[in-house]
Structure 1
């Protein structure tokens, strides 16, 4: 089979010959020097009605198989996050089932990540924290806890707290580490930083294990503009640091998705000892995870779902102290990540599902809520080129065959 096809570019077509070498496949143990979560997507049931506004119909077999794939590569799973289309097609009833099914499948880990150059002590790794301690079996899964069962609109703060508490109870029930997701409802209801403190102070003391906080920038969700009640990112950071300092025993870390490495590094320096910074920066993750010799970021990234074999290999190299190999593996994935997460950034989920389909992890290129239409064929063509260059098309023949069929359906003579 010819590993070439005609791809859209600049309003025309060009013949593209695949040249990338797929990253070697294999299984990996979890990284020792960093905690690494991949935020996983959901696979739509091709026989279900996944039109916009319809309840999510999920292909459970392939959704769970994808999580097993991530676990086999040594990655932990961040479940039911925005990558799984929370607020963009994945409704609360489907989210509950997703969390229960994934948590039931999640393997345990009996050792914690190393802390060489870390800002956190080993006891907080993988959700063990001060509540469980090092060496205790912990599931390699954390789950998003939010308020998306509330209807759009403005709700009283007590209603927002109650929604969070309902979802937090589910995380407790399944034994997964909670990620207190940034909430559209809280952002709409809050009138000052004090409102955020009221909500988070109530929630943090209720979890049986330290939680991961979540700061998602407005580029990922415009409804979160002004989160934490500050009039700038710097004043918002002041609110976050104060909140963490007042609740340090209940906070494992904070995931930061601002696509601004300097802001993340500045916040990381201000965190108290034992509190991790989980990077959600899908533009600058190699340098942030590597760190500066003093502190580093751990990882909680949507892009890791798309580049999982490369991420696993890079983290293994870092564990072995081979910073050169680490950089060489990650470097070609960065242009791909910047393409997938390009504006409008919230449609990055389409690129994640697209690559999962090309690599055989799902039978069709469909998404809940019909979100597969979120990116154009020219955008997907450039994603394809960059995925080839990054070595993350694990079966190039399959990828060419599948993308050619999609192009033909779209009216392109591929």
Structure 2
């Protein structure tokens, strides 16, 4: 049995005995929910570049991780915030990522959807609504040229330029009208990106929701669904119950996903989640159990992952990628804990210690000896022998 001696908040050291969880496997019966995993990118630590200014991606490992997700039954939500989109990864790199991933998805017959936004347009006082529309159109055309479905990402430039909810209606109606296939809208809350505060023209989420719903109602034929990331089950359910027939809710709630996916007497959510990246095996098992009507097995697989997810996505939520990549490193999906923009340093040593504790409790480590061997140099570099 592998054991790590991890630091605690009170300054003591606590032994943690690592246990082996099940090997991830695909459900033979398929799922009755659509589940996209927002996937991270793997940095190339050997590249001769400044990782804060000119990040280089390890394409082999990055695409191999997507194959891992597809093999378990997930779709891939590409070039989203989990991939550090707009948080280290710029538009040109994102398009390269999209092109490579869509090509791999087509070759394997896999599900993929790709983020299109305005991140090449810097927000500022001189940016107009027409500039925002042009930026969206450019990215949407580039993504659709690859054959990928659009995830219409929230725009920092629009949040800055909009003077009223009507500006949001104008932009979204124009962009949706020009798409060749229905898109997934993405309402990313300010807890994930402070620059998006007041999206849809209001700081009040319920008033903002009214505007978003009006856009969807007027353009329902061009909307596959909407992902909301507000970390509020009540708000997601309220919006879900008001969606037009045929428009899906994709939960983006990394705090409350088991209940939202399971649903209630009035409906359920599909999923597009960053937490699926580090808990893919458990999530695949849970979704298979849900599809077969085995509610106890669904809860047994999913519920132990919630404390880990709430920890990884704790405030400041925008730093959640650190925990996601740390898990990928520990579980052997990459050989290093180096991130684009140096974001491996965005969380404390105690935070990483708790990631290990909570992941171990959720049975997410398939090879405890490997986890221990990989954790030790990370903590040693931070001055702690574990």
TM-score by length of 1: 0.90
2:340 is matched with 368
Contact in 2 for aligned 1:39/1:77 (Cα 8 Å): yes
Contact in 2 for aligned 1:55/1:90 (Cα 8 Å): no
Q: 1: distance between equivalents of 2:362 and 2:163?
A: 45
Give the stretch that moved more between structures: 218-227 or 22-31.
22-31
Q: 1: distance between equivalents of 2:251 and 2:28?
A: 21
Secondary structure, aligned partner of 1:254 = strand
Q: Does 1:268 align with 2:267?
A: no
Query: Which ranges in structure 2 are unaligned for 5 or more consecutive residues?
Result: none
1:146 is matched with 117
Secondary structure, aligned partner of 1:44 = coil
Q: 1: distance between equivalents of 2:10 and 2:16?
A: 19
2:141 is matched with 169
Superposition map of 1:7-406 within 5 A: 7-28=6-27, 31-48=30-47, 51=50, 53-107=52-106, 139-154=110-125, 155-406=127-378
Q: 1: distance between equivalents of 2:161 and 2:310?
A: 33
1:3 is matched with 2
Give the stretch that moved more between structures: 12-21 or 399-408.
12-21
1:218 Cα deviation (Å)?
Answer: 0.4
1:13 Cα deviation (Å)?
Answer: 3.6
Deviations 1:344-363 (A, max 9, x none): 00000011000000011111
Secondary structure, aligned partner of 1:305 = coil
Deviations 1:122-148 (A, max 9, x none): xxxxxxxxxxxxxxxx75000000111
1:157 Cα deviation (Å)?
Answer: 1.1
Change (3 A) 1:146 1:349: same
The size of the alignment, in residue pairs, is 385
Deviations 1:311-356 (A, max 9, x none): 1000000110001100111010000000000000000001100000
Contact in 1 for aligned 2:37/2:272 (Cα 8 Å): yes
1:410 Cα deviation (Å)?
Answer: 1.1
Secondary structure, aligned partner of 2:7 = strand
Give the stretch that moved more between structures: 24-33 or 395-404.
24-33
Q: 2: distance between equivalents of 1:307 and 1:51?
A: 31
Q: 1: distance between equivalents of 2:27 and 2:333?
A: 19
Contact in 1 for aligned 2:123/2:161 (Cα 8 Å): no
Contact in 1 for aligned 2:37/2:276 (Cα 8 Å): yes
Q: 2: distance between equivalents of 1:7 and 1:224?
A: 37
Q: 2: distance between equivalents of 1:372 and 1:51?
A: 15
Secondary structure, aligned partner of 2:241 = helix
Contact in 1 for aligned 2:41/2:62 (Cα 8 Å): yes
Deviations 1:266-324 (A, max 9, x none): 00000011000000000000000000032000000000001000010000001100011
Q: 2: distance between equivalents of 1:17 and 1:234?
A: 44
Q: 2: distance between equivalents of 1:30 and 1:86?
A: 34
Secondary structure, aligned partner of 1:144 = strand
TM-score by length of 2: 0.96
Secondary structure, aligned partner of 1:78 = strand
Q: 2: distance between equivalents of 1:205 and 1:139?
A: 26
Deviations 1:61-96 (A, max 9, x none): 000000000000000000000000011100111111
Q: 1: distance between equivalents of 2:378 and 2:110?
A: 38
Give the stretch that moved more between structures: 386-395 or 94-103.
386-395
1:12 Cα deviation (Å)?
Answer: 2.1
Contact in 2 for aligned 1:7/1:381 (Cα 8 Å): yes
1:166 Cα deviation (Å)?
Answer: 1.2
Contact in 2 for aligned 1:8/1:381 (Cα 8 Å): yes
